[in-house]
């Protein structure tokens, strides 16, 4: 297992532990967002940052899990500044990936199309990435039980 895979595994364990006593949906949504972000980053030509996109998705609900302000939590994590900015304000390319995740979750097809154009992505790749993220999450969740 490489260093990035190890980081992802540790992040999964931390989020799982933080999610104890919380709704399973929070953990499931975090996992879907993590894998979805990773797959979208690859499709957007950001494959070298796919592991960071995974972490971004994984930590996107950490404020809800910990019931503390997101900015306060992010300042304590070893995340790149642009990942923090993406989560807090939606800024930058990673912010575009995060905003694409949120638009797809909400069914905001107009915003989703606009963001895919900005990222120079094929809009038809988005549902496929989401379905792959769902399948990966379901498989992972079954293995965690």
Taking only the tens place, the pLDDT of each residue in 78-131 is: 888 999 999 999 999 999 999 999 999 999 999 999 999 999 999 999 999 999
Is there a contact between 85 and 95 (Cβ–Cβ < 8 Å)? yes
HSE-CB of 45 using CA atoms within 13 angstroms: 8
Q: Using alpha carbons, list the distances in angstroms from residue 121 to 32, 43, 53, 116, 138.
A: 20, 6, 16, 5, 26
Per-residue pLDDT, 69: 93
Is there a contact between 31 and 141 (Cβ–Cβ < 8 Å)? yes
Per-residue pLDDT, 33: 96
Compute the Cα dihedral for 15, 16, 22, 28 and give only its sign.
positive
Q: How far, in Å, CA of 31 to CA of 21, rounded?
A: 17
Per-residue pLDDT, 1: 46
pLDDT band at 4 (very low <50, low <70, confident <90, very high): low
Helices (H) and strands (E) in the chain, counts: 9, 0
| pTM, 2 dp | 0.85
48-81 pLDDT, tens digit each: 999 899 989 988 998 888 888 999 988 888 888 9
């Amino acid at each position: 297992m490489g260093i990035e895979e190890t980081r992802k595994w540790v992040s999964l364990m931390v989020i799982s532990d933080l999610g104890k006593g919380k709704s399973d949906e929070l953990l499931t949504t975090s996992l879907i967002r993590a894998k979805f972000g990773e797959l979208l980053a690859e499709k957007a030509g950001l494959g070298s940052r796919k592991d960071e996109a995974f972490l971004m998705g994984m930590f996107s609900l950490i404020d809800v899990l910990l019931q503390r302000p997101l900015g306060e939590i992010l300042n304590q994590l070893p995340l790149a500044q642009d990942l923090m900015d993406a989560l807090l304000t939606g800024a930058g390319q990673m912010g575009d990936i995060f905003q694409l995740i949120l638009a797809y979750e909400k069914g905001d097809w107009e915003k989703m199309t606009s963001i895919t154009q900005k990222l120079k992505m094929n809009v038809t790749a988005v549902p496929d990435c989401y379905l792959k993220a769902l399948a990966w999450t379901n498989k992972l969740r079954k293995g965690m039980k």
